[in-house]
Amino acid sequence: MLILVLAALGLLLLVIGVLSVRYVFKAQRTGHIPPRWGVLRAVVIGTSLSLAPISLFARYPYRDSEGKLGHVIGLPFLAAYFDSAGHDYVGGITLFATVGNAVVWLLIPWILLAVYVRLSQRNTVGA
């Protein structure tokens, strides 16, 4: 159940992430950007580029149907599973899940930047 919830969260983050990147670039084109834009964008790009490769090492413990402890590699999408004996379970979706995980972690800083841009626009209009 946890794996399905994380996969659904991953799909949701992919959609929100793409919309956030579009929103940020639209705000930049129209000139509705917060102060220190260059620094913010550089921090977001740097953070994104560092989170994507780190996502390859995301793992968490998971108990199988028999209650034995194994490990899942990949967050939010399951890329591989290692059971309690150390056997790996990888397949055709491993590559797609790994790329999906990297893209999700690449987009998370952009989601935060889009929220910041929106809040700064709201504060500017209200002032």
82-112 pLDDT, tens per residue?
988 888 888 888 999 999 999 999 999 999 9
> Is residue 28 a part of any domain in this protein?
no
The sheet with strand 88-89 has its strands ordered as: 59-63, 69-73, 80-82, 88-89
> Is residue 30 a part of any domain in this protein?
no
What's the pLDDT band for 13 if we cut at 50, 70, 90?
very high
Which run of H or of E encompasses 108? helix 93-126
> Is residue 63 a part of any domain in this protein?
yes
Q: What is the extent of the structural domain holding 90?
A: 2-23+38-126
> Is residue 55 a part of any domain in this protein?
yes
Instruction: Tell me the pTM.
Output: 0.85
Number of domains comprising the chain: 1
What pLDDT is stored for residue 3 in this prediction?
A: 87
What pLDDT is stored for residue 24 in this prediction?
A: 93
What pLDDT is stored for residue 1 in this prediction?
A: 80
> Is residue 67 a part of any domain in this protein?
yes
> Is residue 33 a part of any domain in this protein?
no
> Is residue 31 a part of any domain in this protein?
no
> Is residue 104 a part of any domain in this protein?
yes
Task: From residue 62, give the alpha-carbon distance in Å to each of 3, 33, 104, 109.
Answer: 9, 43, 21, 27
